[in-house]
Each structure stands twice: as structure tokens, then as C-alpha cells.
Structure 1
Amino acid sequence: MKNTKLFFILVFFLITFAISCKSTKSLVDVGCEENGNITACLDKNYAENNNIRQTLNIWLPCKIHHCDKKFPLIVHIHGGGFTTGEKMEKPNIDFLEAGFAFSSINYRLIPESKFPDYLHDAKAAIRWLRSNSRDLRIDSSRIGIYGESAGGALTSYMAFTNGINKVEINGNIIDVEGNIGNNKNESSKISAAINYYGHADSKMFCDLKKGLDPNCEDTSDFCHSCTSPISYIGKGRSVSYMIIHGTDDKLVPYIHGDMLSKKFTEIYPNNNPELTFITVENGGHGWWDKKTFDDISNSTKNFFLRNLYNNREVKKEKSRTIVSEKLNYDKDIKNIEKQKNDK
């Protein structure tokens, strides 16, 4: 009997040891390439199919043979009104220099998809990244996301449905997790989120579009509370959340950011999880002067340093207002877009 017990104990430790010693593939073996001091892993399909809309890029802040540690990950979600847009083909250098891995994802667009398909894609991308975290040198316990416009709204969906699979909105049961890809046992949890000028209320947003264009099609499956990010606040295990919105935004008016901030504060009155709302006075839909752009870039970097690196030397930023120059779209847009691309 004693020998039998010893045998099973030995088997248990051998299995445990074998699992813990599972070899990590080289970055070359997983299809990555070195680009200067950066390692790039491009066009990875997180849905295990051939759809380019379900691919992502990832960059690591190290040479391909010198990535000997795991990095917290920041994931970018592009904008485009859920009808257009592409993942970034160049990384955010500021985040890499701060010691983060960086990823940018594609997701299916209207009319190929409808809500909540693009949410399912974003969650599938996180599950794929977590499933491959060992080989990609990602610290899967520290993942943050951010996005602009539609990507900001998708970021909000992700933040507010964090850690849950289904949610009831006005009597409708919404599957917020989906079953995209082969990593359904992995978690899609995130730890921090930044919403750049994404909408709060879908009905209000659609009414605005009709006002700007009377011929705007009423996509009724989009224009209701089930697709409004604000409807999901308090439903999941929410995370630290930052909102950045300009008061002169004509595409997604400032009231959307203000509504999200007020609702978040109502649900979490003790500022736990923490909320930071940055108002850009005179700011348009991401159209700000360089000084403002640099100020906000520094705030977002510090937000992720605090929440992903747990760097408490970086103080929590209070909600504040930044005054930007009032820019002329036609005159200044090329310089503004160049600033963003250079980042």
C-alpha cells in the first residue's frame, strides 16, 4: 500500500514537472521576424480561418533572439464606424519603449457582420493572444486595450462585459463572448481600457447620422439599447477605464463621453475601478494640436504603466480638461494624421 502511494506521488510530480517544462517555441518558429530592435509577428489569424478581417499584428520590444522575458500587452482596436478601417501596420513606439508588447487587431465589419459579431472577434483575439502567450512572450495576466471612435466603443463593450459570457439588456439575452476560434477555454479578460471618443448611446448616434445625411439607412439592429455601450456598464467585472473626448467633436459629440463618465460614476461611486475622463476643449474627432496630442499620449502611457506594470510611482490621474487650439480640418488634417502615424 505504501509503495502504491509513493508510485502515484511520483507520477503526479513527473506530470507536473513535464507540464512546467513545456518547451517554448522560438519566435522564428512561430513566424516572427526581426526589424531593428523590434520583433514583429504579423497577420496572425486568431479565428483559425482565412478571413483577413480576423487577423492581428503583434510587436515585441526586443531583438528576436533576445526576448528572454514576458511583457505586458497593449492591444489597439481601430476605428471606422464599424464599416471600414484596418489594423495598424506599424507599432506604437512609445508603448514599446516603455516596455510593453503591442498588438493591433482587425475585426469583421458591417455589412459582413452585425452586433455583436465584432465584439466576439475582439474577445477571440484576446483569447488567441492568451493561448499563445508563452510563445509570444506575453504576460497574459496583464493585458490592456484602447481604441478610437468605433474602436473606442468596442473597447467600452470589452471593458463593461469583462469576465462574463452573457448579459440581459431590456429583456434580451446577449451573447457577449461568442465562440470564434479554437481557444474557447481561454479567458478574454482585460485589466485596463481607454476609450478615445467612442459613442455611448447607439440610438442617439444613429439619429445624429440621419440628421447629417437624410438618406442614412436605418440599421435597426444597431440603433437600439442592446448595442449601446452605456447599457453594459456594471454588467461585468469592470476595469480601470479612461475616456478621452473633444468638446468640438462633430462625428461623435462630446455628450457621449460625458454620459459614459456620469453613468460609470453612478455605478461605481467610490471610483473603484478607477475612472479618468480627459476633456479636450476645442478638440474634434481626434483632431488636436501637437502639444495636446503629446500630453494625451503621455497620460495614456502612464495609465497603462500604473494598471499593467502596477507602477504605483505613477500617480492616478484625476479627470481634467486640456485646452487644444481650434484647428481647421482642411488646413491641418495632414499634419495631425502624420503625427499619429509617426507614433
Structure 2
Amino acid sequence: MSDAALGTGAFSGPIGNAEPATAKRGPLLIIALSAASGGTAIYLAPLAAVWRMSWPYGLLFLALGAAQLGTGAGVLARPVPRRLLLAATAALVVVTLWALTRLTGILPGPDPWMPGNSVIGFTDYVCAALEVIAVAGLAGAAVLGPRPQRRLRRATATAAVAPLTLVVLLGSFVGVAAASDGLAGAGFPADAVEPSNLPAGQRSTVEYCRPDGVPLAMDLYMPSTAARTGRPMPVAVYIHGGGTILGDRKTTGLGATLANHEGALFTPLRRQLNARGFVVASIDYRMPPGAPWPASIQDAKCAVRFLRAHTAALGIDADRIGAWGGSGGGQLASLLGLAGPGAGFDDGQYLDQSSTVQAVVDMFGPADLNDFDDAPPFIRLCLAIGVGDSAETRRAMSPNTYVTANAPPFLVLHGDRDEDVFPRHSFGFARRLRAAGVPTTLIEVHGTGHTLDTPGQRPSPQQLTDTVTAFLVNTLG
């Protein structure tokens, strides 16, 4: 029988051995693979911290990463439907794991995404979004076959490619940078030590609390031997800023940049306070939306209780603890001074200890989170992501809500050109404090915005450093 009669001319090979259709390596496939690679890099970047927190989750992330990288390489080599669907399935498993741990919480153990959120509180959401794009793109390429341009309108496809590619690349870059703290290593550090016999004149990192199984780091800057008086030392707790959703305690890396430590005069204040015999404690805390309110204030209060629980080991005075911070850190420092046990924020470890502080320095912190209607778009976006639109939640986060006569002395500083948190926040806050009988000093800094380290400002950064140091020395004895 002839070939024509058999119809073999319509196939590239014998009947039953036809090669599967190969998808075109076009924009759809490239976007999908880029999204899958970006998502994989995000959850693998803090793998060491995940492993230290929970080795089963670390092993699971490692296996998922190997699966995604392997299936992605297979698709890139030969994008046949079977390989496309395998790669889509691997990405779908990651999305499913994220949903089960983040949205439902039905899986046991600590949240494995939290180490990746230590610099930006929504890094895991970026990862999940990239994986969703990967699932859709890979599955779509498998269904559409070798010539998707015949089934899609070319103009529509072209219009969608450029913005989607930009979203994928930008999301991948931001996510990887955040999950790795700019390649400096995010999440709980490997060099943490026990809070006893810490070397004088040096920085040591300790674990101060473990809410829901997530270890939180505190950097303790101990004064030199020469600066110590022989009596228990006072403590100044520093809480970093970052619009409620950004930053970390470290002095280098992406998190340090986002936290604006310079604006809160952290380094010069830390040096002066150490020279005056203070222990300086700088903390990480869980940030929204990965850890919704009130996680951040619960962590700050747990840090104070930790210090009181280890007074003997650290050589500190439980009755001389102050707090300071800038922006969102100023808000949390104010809440430490105002929100007592009745606020319901004391949760977790060391509950036999008090979380009160004896002095507060609030640097350009928001006092009323419902008063941001005229704020810049980026600030409103940060609040929307980290806080949401609930007026009741915003009220619960606002220091104005908790002003009472029992509050410790306050020093409030704010730049007259601040367009992120308008000066009216601090002016109104100081009036409330004074009306309640709280010893309050308000300093308006001329010539600066959402920071206290602008050249030419009045008072100067050095003068403000001296003022804050004197305030803490005087109030904490």
C-alpha cells in the first residue's frame, strides 16, 4: 500500500510515534518562566533562616525549589505540553502551601514565610503573586500549543506583554532584595547568643521572644567597662521606623535603608548613650500585612518584658527602661509608654514581667492614624497595605487613644517641613499629653522633613542628639 494511502505524509514520524507539539518560546512562556524563577528565588533567599526556625519547612522549601528549577530548565530546553504542565504544577504547589500557611494557618508549626518578611512585610505576597503568574502562563502555553498567536489577537497580546514583563521583573527584583536583605541575609541571624556575660563595648544579638514559633532578634549594644558605674545599668530600647511595613534593626543592608535609622539619630545616640553607661537594645518586630496588627506592639512589649526577665544576666535596672524611635518606631515607642495592661497588647512570653517604660522619645511619629487623608499617595499606600481601611483598627494603633495621667515623661520632636507625617500629629499629641498632666517637651525642628539629620536644620542633629541623651539621663537617673 502506498504512503499516500496510509496518510503518513501528514506526520513527522510513523503512526504512534508522532512528536508532541512544542510550544513557541514566545513572550508568554518567557514571562511565565521569569515569574517562576523570581518566586523561587524569593522563598529560597531566606532558606537558612527558615531552616533554623523549622527544619521540616526548610527541607520542604529546598525540595520545592529543586522541583521548580528542574521543571523550569526542562521547559526551557524543550517546551512540550507535559513539561509545561509539570512546571505549572510545581508553581501551583508553592501557591497552595502559601495559602495553607498564610491564609488558613491549618498547617502546624511557625509561619515559614516570616523570615522572608523581615525587611518588607509583604514579601511573601509578592512571591505568591509571581507563582500565580507562572501557573497561568505555563498552563496557558500548554493549552494554546505551538502557535498561540493564531488563537490570540496579536494587538491585545502585544499590549499586555510589556507591562506584565515589567511587573514580573520589578516584583522579582524587589522580592529577592527584601527576602535576602540586599544579599546581606534576612531573617533570624546565625550568630545569636545567650543573654549573659555579653562582652563590654560590643554588639551582641540575642533572641528576645518567639511568638507563634517565630524567633525575633534584639541587638544589645553594651557600654564599655570604663563607662559602667558598678550599679545596674539603664536601658534605651530603639524601635525602627519604616511606614509600619518596612525596615529592620540592622545598620547595613536594604532593611537599614528602609528603616531610616539616620533620621532617628540612631548611631550618634547609641554612642552617646553607651558612653553614659546605657545599654541600647535595638529590636526586629513582625510587620504587617504578613503579621497583622497588633503583632508589632505585642513584640515591642515582649522585648521590654524580656529585658526585665534578664536583669541579673544583663546587669540592667528594671526600673530604668526608656524607649525611642522615629516615624512608625516613634508610634510604637509612644504606645509602650501609654498602652497599659488594659489595652490587651501583652501577649506571649515573660508575662510575669511588666512591659512599662519610664521615658519615651517620639521622633516624628504618627499620633492619629485616621488623620492621613491628605498625606502623599505613597504614605497612604503603606497604610492601606499595613493597616487597612478600618477606622477602628487605626484608632487602636494611635497613641492619642491611650493618653492618661499615668504616662511617663515624653520628649516629642518633629520637623516643620515633614510632608509624610504632618507636624500637626506631634503638636496635637503634645497638647493631649500636657492636658493629662504628663511631663512633655515638644521640639519643632526647623528646616527638616521626615528626618532629624538634615544639614542646616535648627536645632542641629548634634544638638538634638545631646538633648535626647540629656532627657534620657535625667528621666532614667
The AA in structure 2 aligned to 1:114 is P
> What residue in structure 1 maps to residue 294 of structure 2?
116
> What residue in structure 2 maps to residue 283 of structure 1?
448
Cα separation, 1, equivalents of 2:334 and 2:290 = 22
> What residue in structure 2 maps to residue 82 of structure 1?
244
1:231 to 401, 419, 444: 401
Deviations 1:184-207 (Å, cap 9, x if unpaired)? 111111100000000011011365
In our comparison, the structure showing a higher alpha carbon Rg is: 2
1:134 equivalent in alignment to 2:312: yes
The AA in structure 2 aligned to 1:150 is G
8 Å contact kept, 1:77–1:146: yes
Size of the alignment, in residue pairs?
A: 262
Cα separation, 1, equivalents of 2:475 and 2:381 = 44
Tell me whether 144-153 or 89-98 shows the greater mean CA deviation: 89-98
Within 5 Å, give how 1:245-260 maps onto structure 2: 245-260=414-429
8 Å contact kept, 1:144–1:190: yes
Give 1 or 2: higher helix fraction.
2
1:200 equivalent in alignment to 2:200: no
Cα separation, 2, equivalents of 1:292 and 1:143 = 26
The AA in structure 1 aligned to 2:375 is L
Structure 1 runs (4+) greater than 6 angstroms displaced: 211-216
> What residue in structure 2 maps to residue 6 of structure 1?
none
Q: What runs of 5+ residues in structure 1 fail to find an aligned partner? A: 1-27, 168-174, 310-343
1:180 equivalent in alignment to 2:348: yes
In the superposition, the TM-score normalised over structure 1's length comes to 0.69
Cα separation, 2, equivalents of 1:70 and 1:212 = 41
8 Å contact kept, 2:229–2:277: no
SS in 1 for 2:372: helix
> What residue in structure 1 maps to residue 208 of structure 2?
45
The AA in structure 1 aligned to 2:285 is Y
Change (3 A) 1:211 1:105: closer
SS in 2 for 1:208: coil
1:96 equivalent in alignment to 2:274: yes
> What residue in structure 2 maps to residue 241 of structure 1?
410
Q: What runs of 5+ residues in structure 2 fail to find an aligned partner? A: 1-192, 252-265
SS in 2 for 1:74: strand
The AA in structure 1 aligned to 2:416 is T
Cα separation, 1, equivalents of 2:379 and 2:245 = 17
Cα separation, 1, equivalents of 2:284 and 2:443 = 27
Shift of 1:62: 2.8
> What residue in structure 2 maps to residue 316 of structure 1?
none
Shift of 1:29: 6.7
> What residue in structure 1 maps to residue 283 of structure 2?
105
> What residue in structure 2 maps to residue 305 of structure 1?
473
Shift of 1:114: 2.4
8 Å contact kept, 2:328–2:366: yes
Deviations 1:1-20 (Å, cap 9, x if unpaired)? xxxxxxxxxxxxxxxxxxxx
> What residue in structure 2 maps to residue 294 of structure 1?
462
The AA in structure 2 aligned to 1:301 is T
SS in 2 for 1:145: strand
The AA in structure 2 aligned to 1:86 is D
2:322 to 136, 144, 147: 144
Deviations 1:133-188 (Å, cap 9, x if unpaired)? 10011111100110000000011111112xx3124xxxxxxx232x222x111111
SS in 1 for 2:246: coil
SS in 2 for 1:279: strand
The AA in structure 2 aligned to 1:159 is G
The AA in structure 2 aligned to 1:139 is D
Cα separation, 1, equivalents of 2:205 and 2:358 = 24
CA RMSD across the alignment: 2.8
Shift of 1:98: 1.1
8 Å contact kept, 1:67–1:137: no
Give 1 or 2: higher strand fraction.
1
Deviations 1:13-38 (Å, cap 9, x if unpaired)? xxxxxxxxxxxxxxx9746553xx51
Shift of 1:104: 0.6
In the superposition, the TM-score normalised over structure 2's length comes to 0.51
Change (3 A) 1:206 1:96: farther
> What residue in structure 1 maps to residue 220 of structure 2?
58
1:267 equivalent in alignment to 2:436: yes
Change (3 A) 1:299 1:132: same
The AA in structure 2 aligned to 1:230 is N
Cα separation, 2, equivalents of 1:200 and 1:51 = 29
Change (3 A) 1:88 1:211: closer
Cα separation, 2, equivalents of 1:295 and 1:99 = 20
Shift of 1:307: 0.5
Cα separation, 2, equivalents of 1:41 and 1:96 = 14
Cα separation, 1, equivalents of 2:397 and 2:379 = 21
> What residue in structure 2 maps to residue 189 of structure 1?
356
Change (3 A) 1:149 1:296: same
1:158 to 306, 329, 336: 336
8 Å contact kept, 2:201–2:222: yes
8 Å contact kept, 1:32–1:42: no
